[in-house]
Amino acid sequence: MLSIRHLKTYFRTPRGIARAVDGVSLQMGPGEIMGVVGESGCGKSVMALSVLGLLASPPALFAGGEIRFKGRDLLTLAPEELRRLRGDQISMIFQEPMSALNPVFTVGNQLSEVFRVHRGLDRSAARQGAVEMLAKVGVPAPERRVGEYPYQLSGGMRQRVMIAMALACRPALLLADEPTTALDVSIQAQILELMLGLKEELGTAILLITHDLGVVAEITRRVAVMYTGKIMEEAATEELFDHPLHPYTRGLMASIPRADASFETDALNEIRGVVPSAVDLPPGCHFEPRCPEAVAACRTHPPELEELRPGHRVACWRANRG
Amino acid sequence: MGRYLLKRLWHTVYVVVGISMISFFFIHLSGDPVMLMLPPDATMAEVETLREQLGFNDPIYVQYWRFASRAVQGDLGSSLYFRVPAVNLILERLPASLELAGAAMLIALAISIPLGIISAVKRGSLWDLSSMLGALFGLSMPHFWLGIMLILLFSVTLGWLPTSGRGSLAQLVMPSLALGLSLMAMFARLTRSVMLEVLSQDYVRTARAKGLKERLVIGKHALKNALIPLVTVAGMQFGFLIGGTVIIETVFAWPGVGRLVVQAIFSRDYPLVQATVLVLAVLFVLVNLLTDLIYLYLDPQISYLEEK
Ligand SMILES: Nc1ncnc2c1ncn2[C@@H]1O[C@H](COP(=O)(O)OP(=O)(O)OP(=O)(O)O)[C@@H](O)[C@H]1O
Ligand SMILES: [Mg+2]
């Protein structure tokens, strides 16, 4: 259903070309839940925004690759066609529920827009749809809430509204960009549960972007680990947690506190150093400067993704040998 | 919301009282007009008598109190020069001032807002660069010079428009253009920068992610937010415009309040100055109140925050 191939999304910046997404490939089937994890700045959001065509160009430039959705290449699709897909076939929810809703329009107004633009409903029918969606995402007293403004809602409620907006047209694909990061821990679980429930009901595939491996372990079927615009490792969730092959993945796992640590941890408890700048990446493996297992080859030759175990791809010279 | 408005109304009263005091004391600092009212060969005794008669020898707070208690009854004193109630003179001129300010503001907003929006949306384009250059030009052009150029072009050379006076729409065109152009330039630049700021907000991205047409994203989601700072500045500017158009009024012989007050200052017609300052202050505050009302409509959060 969604197939990203060798996607390269760069930015022109005063300091040079920033390679935010640099040759990412991903496949997702209908109704699948896939996780994308990685530290801040590794290009997760840029990848998702590329799918929806929401990056202003310039400064963004699409240096190559394709994004196929139901057979059509989104990168070459006419803007008007892509607009029709957005919010209808493909939706997105964002990290910050505080700023993602427009402060000067009511929740009902913003929610019914989706029905009006994609379903051509009139004002009252769209409003009715908005009330129903709010009820569906567990907003109490939806009849009253539709008339309220975002500032009158808590963070969790706003994120529910965002989810209602994203799922209003029963999209085939939901891009969830850190949907729970900004919320209280107690609310996080509720929101994830809500998304899972709706996914079952509507058959929506979810690309869940997060830097929380705990969340990934809980709800995704497959995971891709990203670092500096590249996928370092990709496998079924259980497989990845049982046999993490990339030192970066192992570093990430070691740095989350988990009671049931079922995976082997290295001497590496935390990843040393900082993420290199996207305008100035190392010539070999991007992780090499921080990697405790790096050898000479890592410094000069970038490793390619290779399938080392069934359905388990990894880009690492050391893992190849191991 | 009702409480918010009531509170605002109270503020308005404070401000008006404050302004009336300050202006009263300052005008007094400049001395009394008794010397000007009498012939040059008047004796000291005569001067003193008149002073006593007009109450200039009383302590200043007594004088203020006298002025204020009459003012609340609508009596702002009489013009020393015209020898008629100051209020009448002002009310006679006020419609002309409001008309000119309103027309200038209307022209400025109607043109500058679309201009600024297009510039922001097409940032860095030839359109953007040329309209911002034009705006800079408009800002740096003095009103009187622009007025004279307009007269030369439209009245003298083309003969399309009358050079001065008030009454017909044709007579309104040039003064309001001359006055509105720099406003237009200012608002175009302001709209552009506010719009650029708003367009980078998350909710604009959300609106696009919903699949809304660009027309709605900009004309609805971005614009309503951008209007909030614009309304503030427009309200302010309108307040200034009502009394501050002396130069244009002079160039076009426009019978507005601005010219009246300048005339009053030069002739030391001090009750008239005092009255005009007060009326203009009240108007200024009323315009601000109106701005607040528009605010309430634009930003639902305001009444909420104010009531907390
Ligand atoms: N508009 C832009 N102009 C220039 N560089 C950009 C722009 N947007 C993103 N980048 C760069 O692209 C890289 C990837 O950013 P991205 O927002 O995708 O990271 P992320 O993985 O989503 O991080 P986070 O977890 O903090 O959300 C960063 O280095 C960032 O500086
Ligand atoms: Mg991000």
Q: Please, which contacts does B143-147 make with residues 24 or more away whose CB atoms are closer than 8 Å?
A: B143/B178, B143/B179, B143/B182, B143/B247, B143/B248, B143/B251, B144/B247, B144/B248, B144/B250, B144/B251, B146/B177, B146/B178, B146/B181, B147/B174, B147/B175, B147/B178, B147/B247, B147/B248, B147/B251, B147/B252
Q: Residue A124: CB within 6 Å of ligand 1?
A: no
Q: Pick the residue of A74, A104, A114, A177 with the most B CBs within 10 A to test the interface with B by mutation.
A: A104
Instruction: Choose one of A22, A36, A46 to mutate for the ligand 1 pocket test, by most ligand atoms within 8 angstroms of C-beta.
Output: A46
Q: Do B211 and A87 touch (CB under 8 A)?
A: yes
> Which residue from A82, A77, A58 is spatially nearest to B209, judged by alpha carbons?
A82
Rg (C-alpha) for chain B, rounded Å, is 24
ipTM: 0.87
Q: Specify the 3-state DSSP secondary structure of B67.
A: helix
Using a CB-CB cut-off of 8 Å, the residues of chain B touching A106 are 300
Between CA B43 and CA A10 the distance in angstroms is 89
Between CA B23 and CA B198 the distance in angstroms is 40
Cβ contact A36:A82 at 8 Å: no
The per-residue pLDDT for B251 is 87
Q: What residue ranges of chain B have pLDDT lower than 50?
A: none
Counting ligands in written order, the one closest to the CA of A18 is 1
The overall pTM is greater than 0.90: no
The per-residue pLDDT for A262 is 47
User: Amino acid letter at B16?
Assistant: V
The per-residue pLDDT for A39 is 85
* Partners of residue A236 on adjacent β-strands: A222
Between CA A191 and CA A215 the distance in angstroms is 11
Q: Rounded to a whole number, what is the distance in Å from the CA of B8 to chain A's nearest CA?
A: 21
| Largest Cα–Cα separation, chain B | 85
Q: Specify the 3-state DSSP secondary structure of A276.
A: coil
> Which residue from A232, A269, A235 is spatially nearest to A249, judged by alpha carbons?
A232
Q: Ligand 2 centre and the CA of A45: distance in Å?
A: 4
Cβ contact B8:B285 at 8 Å: no
Of B205, B211, B224, the CB nearest to A104: B224
> Which residue from B259, B257, B264, B263 is spatially nearest to B280, judged by alpha carbons?
B257
Mean pLDDT (10-residue bins), chain A, 322 residues? 91 88 91 91 91 87 89 90 93 89 94 94 93 90 93 90 91 91 80 86 91 86 92 91 88 68 48 79 84 81 85 83 52
**Residue having the nearest C-alpha atom to atom 12 of ligand 1:** A20
Instruction: Choose one of A15, A44, A226, A252 to mutate for the ligand 1 pocket test, by most ligand atoms within 8 angstroms of C-beta.
Output: A44
The per-residue pLDDT for A261 is 46
**Residue having the nearest C-alpha atom to atom 25 of ligand 1:** A40
Using a CB-CB cut-off of 8 Å, the residues of chain A touching B202 are 94, 96, 99-100
Q: Read out DSSP for B223-239?
A: HHHHHHHHHHHHHHHHH
Cβ contact A247:A291 at 8 Å: yes
